[in-house]
Structure 1
């Protein structure tokens, strides 16, 4: 690797080990075996390098959402799994990885806390965040963003909100945090509640269509 790639890999390691705020330019240089001048030459600033490194860490974590079996089925043209099965299986992979990816979850929480006071960081994340929502909709619920962009958008918003909530619960208390089956059963309960309302007809104060 050249200095550019070395710096990026070093910045990724520093983010996971020290966090965003505590990582200095000298930390990155020590982790990458480069020099301070290389940061400015290749990335313009330490902040630009850290922002890109954070995006790469997040993308690599996102690879957990697609199982080797699903990737193979897609390549072979096989049929997709049932939506609830895909939802549960994806969450099983995410939650099972938590012991190894806890530092990624901690880093994401730190970055969220910085957005209000760091316009540059917020701007850097806007586009990737929207793309990430599409990826969540596709990987968790099997919704193709190209074929049904609006459905993927709203489903992605739901999945992203759920992901952040689950992340916080696992960081606070692993023993009471939801399992993949808990999340699947919760989603089923919401869907079944909606079906019950439709069968019962409009409630008080609501007009039938």
Structure 2
């Protein structure tokens, strides 16, 4: 593994373990096992490196949800909820990173792309809004968050 790949892996580890705001150049370099100057050489800045890692992480999670999504509607919501519980550490890191979108056009573009892909993969803006709401509930209050069956029953009651 070269320095670039090591930096990407180290930055992802730091993003998940420490979050965007508290990950330093030194943290990333230490996790990657390289000199911190390699960040500037390969990515230009800490922010550019974290933005690249964020983009890859969102693509990874998006593919996991949409590629493995059952075609049967009643089985979809439990599968979506499973993604929040099995990859909780990465979802928390991404949620924290979303706050950077206000100050970074690159981060905003990544999240906008995620929203568009999610709408396409889940069948429109309403399912995507439901996924985002479920994500917040499962990350902040998993003991009281709705189950897949709760979601299915609630949607049936709405229609």
Report TM bin, short chain: 0.7 to 0.9
* Match in the other structure for 2:30: 30
Query: C-alpha distance in 2, partners of 1:44/1:124?
Result: 18
* Match in the other structure for 1:116: 102
* Match in the other structure for 1:149: none
User: Structure 1 segments of 4 or more deviating over 6 A?
Assistant: none
Unpaired runs of 5+ residues, structure 2, are none
Unpaired runs of 5+ residues, structure 1, are 71-80, 138-154, 192-209
1:58/1:104 contact within 8 Å kept: no
* Match in the other structure for 1:184: 152
* Match in the other structure for 2:14: 14
Query: C-alpha distance in 1, partners of 2:63/2:113?
Result: 18
* Number of residue equivalences: 158
* Match in the other structure for 2:68: 67
The CA RMSD measured in Å over matched residues stands at 2.2
Query: C-alpha distance in 2, partners of 1:123/1:62?
Result: 15
Deviations 1:173-205 (CA, angstroms, capped at 9, x unpaired): 2222111111122222222xxxxxxxxxxxxxx
1:64/1:93 contact within 8 Å kept: no
TM-score normalised to the size of structure 2? Answer: 0.85
Query: C-alpha distance in 2, partners of 1:35/1:20?
Result: 20
* Match in the other structure for 2:45: 45
Judged with a 3 Å threshold, the aligned counterparts in structure 2 of structure 1 residues 62 and 127 are, in CA distance, closer, same or farther, namely closer
* Match in the other structure for 1:131: 117
Judged with a 3 Å threshold, the aligned counterparts in structure 2 of structure 1 residues 124 and 92 are, in CA distance, closer, same or farther, namely closer
Say which SS state the counterpart of residue 55 (structure 2) adopts.
helix
Which residue of 90, 101, 104 maps to 2:90? Answer: 104
Which residue of 137, 141, 144 maps to 1:173? Answer: 141
